[in-house]
Amino acid sequence: MIELVKEDPDSEDAILELSTMVQSLVRDIDELEVHSYLSGKYDGYDCYFSINAGAGGTDAQDWAEMLQRMYTRWLDQKGYQWTLVDETVGDEAGIKSVTLQVKGDFAYGFLKTEVGVHRLVRISPFNANGKRQTSFAAVDVLPDLPMDFNDIQIDPKDLRVDTFRSTGAGGQHINKTDSAVRITHLPTGLVAQSQASRSQISNRETAMALLKSRLVQVMEQQHKDQISELRGVEKDIAWGNQIRNYVFHPYKLVKDTRTGIETSDLLSVMDGEIDSFIHAQLKLGIPS
């Protein structure tokens, strides 16, 4: 096409077609470059994606729900399938925690870049004095291991299984049976629960899969080969310095503290436009 344009430099059709081809090639190269960083052990897996409200009371719970909206918009835009595994609603507004199961190519590889504490600064809608409020929420991501994953063996004697009634918005369709399942791994204190299904058996399977993923994550963090070697898990293991700041007031800015990537287009970010942050972190390199 370049040769054709050289032969007829006044051809607007040829120039337009060449420009279109170049733009398409650049997009393909960018996508290939990003995927070249997805070579971690579990990068190609589906994943469990969790958000937990932190310090900040009702504002933090509202912030957790805002993050849930941001991420589900991104998932929808990228064509990922996601289902709600577990959710605990806030006392007054928002959510205390939520876990989603995400299915699609390199779900874990992309979303692992978002693990960490996300900090919000805004004028609180829950404060009658209109004061600026800082809130925190933590994101955690685990690979969704296949059912036949046998790298670890869990002793049933180390598990406590509790059932409880699923929470929901209410109404005639509210689940009135104790079908939700919570499984606790007693030696480490790790907990996994599911209330996505009306079937207790299905919820138990989902909770076990989630627990297995959490145990694998902790084993790799602690560089252990056996579950029996694990130290007790600290309750605040997911907390630390924020990876990203979202400032709504006195100006609008989203800035990633790891890569330095920032934008003043706050509304687009909250609508799921987070590729620039994800891609920059992949290129910077993070543990897999």
Domain boundary assignment for the chain: 2-36, 47-145+240-284, 156-229
The helix/strand/coil state of 18 is: helix
pLDDT tens, residue by residue, 227-260: 666 665 554 433 557 899 999 988 999 999 999 9
Q: What does the alpha-carbon distance between residue 271 and residue 55 come to, in Å, rounded to a whole number?
A: 24
- Alpha-carbon distance of 193 to 195, in angstroms, equals 7
Structure tokens at 53: 């409200």
The residue among 222 and 176 whose pLDDT is bigger is 222
Which pLDDT does position 280 carry in this prediction?
92
DSSP state of 37: T
Q: pLDDT at position 226, please?
A: 67
Contact criterion met (CB below 8 Å) for 171 and 164: no
Confidence class of residue 275 from pLDDT cuts 50, 70 and 90?
Answer: very high
Stretch 188-211: mean pLDDT, rounded? Answer: 87
CATH tag for 47-145+240-284 (out of 3.30.70.1660, 3.90.960.10, 3.30.470.20, 2.60.40.420): 3.30.70.1660
The CATH number of 156-229 is 3.30.160.20
Mean of pLDDT over the chain: 86
**Is the backbone peptide bond immediately before 146 cis, with ω within 30 degrees of 0?**
no
Encode pLDDT of 96-152 as tens digits. Answer: 999 999 999 999 999 999 999 999 999 988 877 778 889 999 999 999 987 666 667
The average pLDDT across 160-183 equals 69
Torsion (CA) 8, 13, 17, 23 in degrees, nearest 10: 100
**Are 54 and 136 in contact, with CB atoms under 8 Å apart?**
yes
The domains spanning 47-145+240-284 and 156-229 adopt the same CATH topology: no
Residue 170's pLDDT is: 43
Q: What was the pLDDT predicted at 100? A: 95
**Alpha carbons 203 and 199: distance in angstroms, whole number:** 6
Q: What angle do CA 269, 271, 275 make, to 5 degrees?
A: 50
121 within 8 A of 245, measured Cβ to Cβ: yes
Task: Determine the pLDDT at residue 177.
Answer: 62
The whole-angstrom separation of Cα 84 and Cα 66 is 16
For the cut 90, the answer to whether the pLDDT of residue 5 exceeds it is: no
pLDDT tens for 16-58 read 999 999 999 998 898 888 888 998 888 999 999 999 998 778 9
pLDDT at 48: 94
For residue 238, count CB atoms less than 10 angstroms from its CB and return exposed for 0-12, middle for 13-18, buried for 19 or more: middle
**Least confident piece of the model among 197-201, 207-211, 226-230, 253-257:** 226-230
Is the pLDDT reported for residue 181 higher than 80? yes
Q: Who has greater pLDDT, 155 or 256?
A: 256
Higher pLDDT, 56 or 91: 91
**How confident is the model at residue 230, as a pLDDT?**
61
Helix H or strand E encompassing 181: strand 180-185
- Predicted confidence at residue 20, as pLDDT, reads 92
**Average pLDDT rounded to a whole number, residues 254-278:** 96
pLDDT at residue 194 is higher than 80: yes
Q: Is the pLDDT of residue 10 over 90?
A: no
Most confident by average pLDDT, 14-28, 179-193, 259-273: 259-273
86-100, 147-161, 199-213, range with the lowest pLDDT? 147-161
End-to-end alpha carbon distance in the chain: 41
